[in-house]
A and B are shown apart, each in its own frame.
Chain A
Amino acid sequence: VDWHTGRQEVEGDDVKYMVLLYDAPNIRENLSPELIAEMGALMSQLTESGELVGGEALADPSVTKTVRSVGGIPAATDGPYAEAKEHMGGYLLLDVEDEKRAVEIACRWPTSVVSAVEVRALMNQEISPQ
């Protein structure tokens, strides 16, 4: 057996998380100033705690260009890839203690009461000590 690890702890795994923020239909038109302020407050809390590595908001899905293969040749068309009700609206990149903390932050994102927020682990180049 060669999967011997001399490692005692489970922690210390260097995993970063991307929190994918989906927009419910028409949510952008209905964003109240309070909700925007809440987002800003959470972002600055995460900046202050040193957990926020990055994050961006995406422009409206209607201004998307989608590149598809047409007869083996890539061609751009107007509009989003999928005819979905919810579109990805932005992301947060987090470096947090564990998955539990990433999920906690996702739950605190103001739009999580109306639309989906996905927490995805990032791949990395680390290997376990052995």
Chain B
Amino acid sequence: VTAGEPIEDLLRVLAPRVLGTLAHRDPDFADCEDAVQEALLAAALQWPVEGRPDNPQAWLIAVAVRRLSDARRADSARRAREHRQATLKPTDALASGMDDPGRSPDDTLTLLFLCCHPALSPASQLALTLRAVGGLTTAEIARAFLVPDATMAQRISRAKQRVRATGISFRMPSPDEQTERVRVVLHVLYLIFTEGHTSTTGPVLHRDDLTREAIRLTRLVRGLLPNDGEVAGLLALMLLTDARRAARTGAGGALIPLPDQDRTLWDAEAIDEGVRLVTATLGARPLGPYQVQAAIAALHAEGDSTHDTDWPQILMLYRVLEELSPNPMTRLNHAVAAAMVHGPATGLALVDELAREGQLTSSHRINAVRGHLLEMSGDPEGARSAYLAAARQTTSIPEQRYLKVRASRLSQECSVEA
């Protein structure tokens, strides 16, 4: 934490520490979270005018504790009775926040486990993590998820009610539980990342923040769990994927597929860090799906073009990934890699197998891949109808536009040949 840091960034770093300190002592997580949000708001308003306090964390803890006890006092007698024994004394929290800075990282991890508790729905986990750990305001989260503030406020308050109702406590899960709980945390961080990453420029420009936030939080988790290979794998996957951001879309948010991307626009520094992370983690630890996906992303990033890409290696990694976490999307990507190594007929056979099993039938991706593979195999008519079928299925405007362009390019070819 440096003095020159913008106040907003500082507040986001401090938010989980302050909340951790409060939640550590007071059993009502929902009340603590409200109090911390109020303290953050007070800081955002006061610090730019009155200057930054000498110990920002202690200031926030003091204000949050005061808000918490004010809220309690204003509350009904019933609530006050319920909490009397557990209610925190302001001086305790203040002291702990200042005297014991070493405990903060553990509290942040405990906080993440609470926000990503399996009893909460994925939507609640995402929203709560962004607010409690990420220090984002409800309005910022609402904007990122493209819903009205009131909708997001309801979602967050619902999540907090659920924490209260199910008696989820602010404590570290037992060592046996931890492995599984870390998986949930990583999944939530991954979902936050994809929420931001799938957005294109234009009306949803500010969603880039979610990608940055996901990377920031994953770095934080990496600091807390430096020996977990999957944490490193997820961070690498995010860095390698995000490195291509600038090249993914052209004018007006139009989609640019991988082979057509201007590779000089890729973020070399992010690729470098991602590749280093992946290299360090592969083989050294038990392998998990994020590490394998990161390794695949690294191979894509290292090729000078799609033709230079090490497809046999990618195919091998998809086989490993299917073993580790069977999933229809993995199988579809496997089909693409198989086509690149063994030819389109092999890929098409795998795609047909997926379709026969009724997998991904409502997704446009099966037809999109089929279109590409048919085009590769020299069947422009078949490719064209597959692209058009995919265009009807997708709900993404940029993807629909892309698929229609692919289809119309083929119909021109067909008429020229005829």
User: Which A residues contact B (CB, under 8 angstroms)?
Assistant: 1-16, 47-54, 95, 97, 99, 121-130
B residues in contact with A127, CB < 8 Å:
198, 200, 248-249, 255, 396, 398-399
User: Which B residues contact A (CB, under 8 angstroms)?
Assistant: 121-123, 127, 145-148, 150-152, 154-156, 158, 190-191, 194-195, 197-200, 202-204, 237, 241, 244, 248-249, 253, 255, 257-260, 289, 293, 296-297, 300, 306, 321, 325, 327-330, 332-333, 336, 339-340, 347, 360, 362-363, 365, 368-369, 371-373, 376, 395-400
B248 touches which one: A3, A12, A95, A130 (CB < 8 A)? A130
A16 to B330, CA, bound (A): 25
> Can you list 30 contacts pairing A with B, beta carbon distance less than 8 Å?
A1-B306, A1-B347, A1-B372, A3-B365, A3-B371, A3-B372, A5-B332, A5-B365, A6-B237, A7-B333, A8-B327, A9-B194, A10-B329, A13-B395, A14-B145, A49-B158, A50-B151, A50-B152, A51-B151, A99-B362, A124-B396, A125-B200, A125-B203, A125-B204, A127-B248, A127-B249, A127-B255, A127-B396, A128-B198, A130-B244
A130 to B339, CA, bound (A): 17
A residues in contact with B395, CB < 8 Å:
13, 15, 121-124
B residues in contact with A9, CB < 8 Å:
190, 194, 327, 329
A53 touches which one: B147, B200, B255, B297 (CB < 8 A)? B147
B257 touches which one: A3, A54, A123, A129 (CB < 8 A)? A3
A residues in contact with B306, CB < 8 Å:
1-2
A6 to B194, CA, bound (A): 11
A residues in contact with B339, CB < 8 Å:
1
Report if A48-B258 is in contact (Cβ < 8 Å); known contacts: A123-B395, A125-B204.
no
Report if A126-B396 is in contact (Cβ < 8 Å); known contacts: A6-B297, A8-B327, A97-B122.
yes
CB of A97 within 8 A of CB of B123, answer yes
A8 to B183, CA, bound (A): 14
CB of B199 within 8 A of CB of A125, answer yes
Report if A5-B248 is in contact (Cβ < 8 Å); known contacts: A95-B145, A124-B396.
no
CB of B300 within 8 A of CB of A125, answer no
CB of B259 within 8 A of CB of A2, answer yes
CB of B200 within 8 A of CB of A126, answer yes
CB of A128 within 8 A of CB of B155, answer no
CB of B151 within 8 A of CB of A129, answer no
CB of A2 within 8 A of CB of B260, answer yes
Question: Closest Cβ of chain B: how far from A10's Cβ, in Å?
Answer: 6
A125 touches which one: B194, B360, B373, B398 (CB < 8 A)? B398
B258 touches which one: A2, A12, A54, A122 (CB < 8 A)? A2
B residues in contact with A51, CB < 8 Å:
151
Interchain residue pairs A-B with the least CB separation, the first 8? A50-B155, A2-B257, A126-B198, A50-B154, A2-B259, A12-B194, A1-B372, A121-B395
CB of B200 within 8 A of CB of A48, answer no
A51 to B47, CA, bound (A): 36
B residues in contact with A97, CB < 8 Å:
121-123
